[in-house]
Amino acid sequence: MLTYHFDWSVVLSGQYAGWLLSGIKVTFQLSLVSIVLSFFLGLLIAVMRMSSLGPVRWFAHGYLEFFRNTPLLVQIFFWYFGSYKILPMAVNDWLVKTNFEFAAAVIALTIYTSAFIAEDVRSGIRSIPREQMEAARSSGFSYIQSMRYIILPQAVRITVPPLINQFLNLTKNSSLAMTIGVMELTYQARQVESYTFKGFEAFTAATLVYVVISLVIAGFMTLYGRKVLSPVRVR
């Protein structure tokens, strides 16, 4: 009978622990940047989806259908291997000088997640009584101003729970960035396993870190929803 000897010192101290900490840092950076960008892009697509202008609405609809129904891994590979064919040369040169792998992962995660955020926000917008938009327009607000000052603040407040789920999904999906060489947590856990053959310890540590990150994001967003986005109570 084979007996496995656990060695948790591999992930608690020394060089390999430093690799995991470095991966955690990259995972935080990748997730945070993608969350912010996907949120604002999702808001934009949601507003475009409900525009009265046909071409704008059709573009947004096509955007949603295409990116919601395409595997994220395929999109990551597309932006990593094929972006140089569709992006201007100056943009590609800038990406290469910064961190091309990281940038490709951010683009893929942002576009993919924004398509789902847009649908959540659109549902929130549709739950707002139509009379509020009509009242805003009759008061002299443009469509964009009505959305910005009247409709979207309420819609975002309503969609906080699904937004939390999308942000959590994005954080977990960031592990796919390892496939193009982004040295995030999963990549570093794989490195530790390759050098030490302690795969159980390495990936157990990575799993626990993802759980903690998810709980932190959920707690932060819940607190933000209660303190900032919840309606003011009238005493």
Measured in whole angstroms, how far is the alpha carbon of residue 229 from the centre of its chain?
Answer: 20
88 within some domain: yes
Residues in contact with 153: Cβ distance below 8 Å, sequence separation at least 6, in sequence order? none
Is residue 188 a contact partner of residue 203, using CB atoms and an 8 Å limit?
no
46 within some domain: yes
Q: How far apart are CA 10 and CA 189, in angstroms?
A: 11
Which CATH number belongs to the domain containing residue 208 in this structure?
Answer: 1.10.3720.10
111 within some domain: yes
Question: What does each of the 235 residues of the chain score in pLDDT, given as a tens digit?
Answer: 567 788 888 888 789 999 999 999 999 999 999 999 999 999 999 989 988 888 999 999 999 999 999 999 999 999 998 877 777 777 777 777 778 899 999 999 999 999 999 999 998 888 888 888 888 888 888 878 888 888 888 888 888 888 888 999 999 999 999 999 999 999 999 999 999 888 899 999 999 999 998 888 778 777 776 776 555 443 3
234 within some domain: no
Q: What is the span of the domain harbouring residue 182?
A: 9-229
- For 202, counting Cβ atoms within 10 Å of its Cβ (0-12 exposed, 13-18 middle, 19+ buried), the class is buried
Query: 10 Å Cβ neighbour count for 61?
Result: 13
Amino acid identity of residue 150, one-letter, is I
Cα-based distances in Å from 139 to 149, 153, 154: 13, 18, 18
Is residue 141 a contact partner of residue 184, using CB atoms and an 8 Å limit?
no
Could you write out the DSSP letters of every residue in 127-165?
A: HS-HHHHHHHHHTT--HHHHIIIIIHHHHHHHTHHHHHH
Q: How far apart are CA 234 and CA 96, in angstroms?
A: 54
159 within some domain: yes
Give the total number of structural domains in the chain: 1
2 within some domain: no
80 within some domain: yes
Phi, psi of 130 (to 5 degrees): -60, -30
